[in-house]
Amino acid sequence: MSDSPARRVILGVGGGIAAYKAAELLRRFTESGLDVRVVPTASALKFVGEPTWAALSGQPVHTDVWSDVHEVPHVRLGRHADLVVVAPATADLLAKAAHGQADDLLTSTLLTATCPVVYAPAMHTEMWLHPATVDNVATLRSRGALVIEPAVGRLTGADTGPGRLPDPDDIAAIAFATLARGSAAADLTGLRVVVSAGGTREPLDPVRFLGNRSSGRQGYALARTAAARGATVTLVAANSQLPDPTGMTVLRVGTTAELRDAMIAESRDADAIVMAAAPADFRPASSSSYKIKKADDGSAPTIALEQNPDILKQLSAERGKPGQVVVGFAAETGDASRTVLELGRAKLARKGCDLLAVNYVGEGGAFEGTENAAIVLGADGSSTDVPRGSKERLANVLWDLVLERIKRD
Ligand code: CTP
């Protein structure tokens, strides 16, 4: 991760079958330049052995407090960590952490850690839904820990339901976002947010379309960071190749008209809306229900276009809920007579939104080649510079600014 190349992360591994997926998570962490110490429980080592953790982390691995006692390892590890991630967090580990028990190196480290702590639970559905676990999770969250919602799906046996370990990519994204923010507190709890992502496609015929190259990554980062901060999230994804993130509602759309309908319906009771998608501005005036064939005389068809609705403008004008905060994105190059910021200010006023994240995409400018650098302009005249950094970092700054505005109302 470009933000924090040598930050220290403790990966606590609980004794569940999903421990093997934590090896994948560990690789994500080390590939991102993080300095990772793995602290498995004794039962975790029954699933995945110590050599795997040592080889993948490049660090010695201890599980009890009796090795290197002179270094007081649980205090040293806890004190120096920038983040602790527990994956899989079993029902037993959550219970011990909630009650402050400390009978091995991991649980002792959890008591000495002052940094953010993220738990990625994995257990059978009955255990996750048991009132004891529900209470333990609530206790941990009330103390500022981030307990990720488990994924729903096939569990170890034939059973299905909530309790699967979230995908290692999802856990890694949440971990990076938490590191970038320096806090695991769920400060968006109680808020409902809607984020659009990806690029819309306008069909010409059943096999061709007009579209754009938007990958959807910034929108997905916004949705994931909001969910990690406790918001109830709906992600409206237009043609993105990215897999559905866990812990949120994902609606898939194709065209700009479908995106607009979904955004308007979802915005009705939303506290904040972010238009990170790239909607196609034009669509073919008519779309053929048959594949358009080449003409024998070598002529090419003329395609008439018509303008698509401006979703951001409509959402800003017709707020679904009083006090709702509406955020847009703009990629600008500047032109002969106006700077990027002037164009950004003009677009903010034209769209009528509360915040506009302006990316500079031209040559020779301060932000050249840094697609995640932005200046966030506020309708109140404010301007927030977000220097080059990860997409999670820009997402977190945007949520900070959204939260400020919600609290102000
Ligand atoms: N947007 C939208 N509906 C559209 C086009 C854009 O809601 N039909 C939103 C985008 O999601 C983004 C913002 O408007 O949040 C700005 O997008 P941009 O393409 O820069 O705006 P345009 O209005 O298309 O401006 P330009 O004329 O500069 O292309």
pLDDT at 362: 58
Pocket residue to mutate for ligand 1, from 329, 332, 338, 377, most atoms within 8 A of Cβ: 329
Give the residue, 212 or 71, on which the prediction is more confident. Answer: 212
Nearest-angstrom CA–CA distance, 275 and 324: 13
Phi and psi based region of residue 303 (left: phi greater than 0; alpha: psi -120 to 50; beta: remaining): beta
> Is 192-408 in the same CATH topology as 8-181?
yes
pLDDT (0 to 100) of residue 9: 97
Question: Does the Cβ of 308 fall within 6 Å of ligand 1?
Answer: yes
Per-residue pLDDT, 121:
96
pLDDT above 60 for 372: yes
Which of residues 376 and 215 earns the better pLDDT score?
A: 376
**Where does the pLDDT of residue 55 fall: very low under 50, low under 70, confident under 90, or very high at 90 and above?**
very high
Atom of ligand 1 nearest to the CA of 313: 7
- Name, in order, each residue with C-beta under 8 angstroms of 269's C-beta and a sequence gap of 6 or more: 192, 320, 321
127-147 burial: b if 16+ Cβ within 10 Å, else e: bbeeeebeebbebbbeeebbb
Q: Quick check: CB of 256 below 6 Å from ligand 1?
A: yes
- Asked if residue 363 has pLDDT above 60, the reply is no
* Closest residue by CA, ligand 1 atom 12: 329
Contact 328, 351 (CB under 8 A): yes
Phi then psi dihedrals of residue 232, to 5 deg: -90, 120
Q: For ligand 1, is residue 330 a contact (CB within 6 Å)?
A: yes
Cis amide bond preceding 121, omega within 30 = no
CATH code of the domain occupying 8-181: 3.40.50.1950
Task: Tell me if 353 CB under 6 Å of ligand 1.
Answer: no
- What's the topology of domain 192-408? Rossmann fold (3.40.50)
What is the DSSP secondary structure assignment for residue 199, as one 8-state letter?
A: B
Active-site residue 212, yes or no?
A: yes
Of 166-170, 204-208, 262-266, 272-276, minimum mean pLDDT range: 166-170
**Spans of all domains in the chain:** 8-181, 192-408
What's the pTM value of the predicted model, to 2 decimals?
A: 0.82
Predicted confidence (pLDDT) per residue in 288-334, tens digit: 999 999 999 999 999 999 999 999 999 999 998 999 999 999 988 88
User: What pLDDT does residue 117 have?
Assistant: 97
DSSP state of 398: H
pLDDT higher than threshold 80 for residue 112: yes
Gap between the Cα atoms of 409 and 406, Å rounded: 6
Burial of residue 30, with CB atoms counted within 10 A of its CB: 0-12 exposed, 13-18 middle, 19 or more buried:
middle
Categorize the per-residue pLDDT at 3 as very low, low, confident or very high, splitting at 50, 70 and 90. Answer: very low
Mean predicted lDDT score pLDDT of the chain: 91
Q: Is the pLDDT of residue 156 over 80?
A: no
Q: What's the rounded mean pLDDT across residues 269-274?
A: 98
Give pLDDT tens digits for 340-352: 999 999 999 999 9
- Looking at the CA of residue 327, tell me the nearest atom of ligand 1: 15
Q: Is the pLDDT of residue 398 over 50?
A: yes
What's the pLDDT score for residue 333? 84
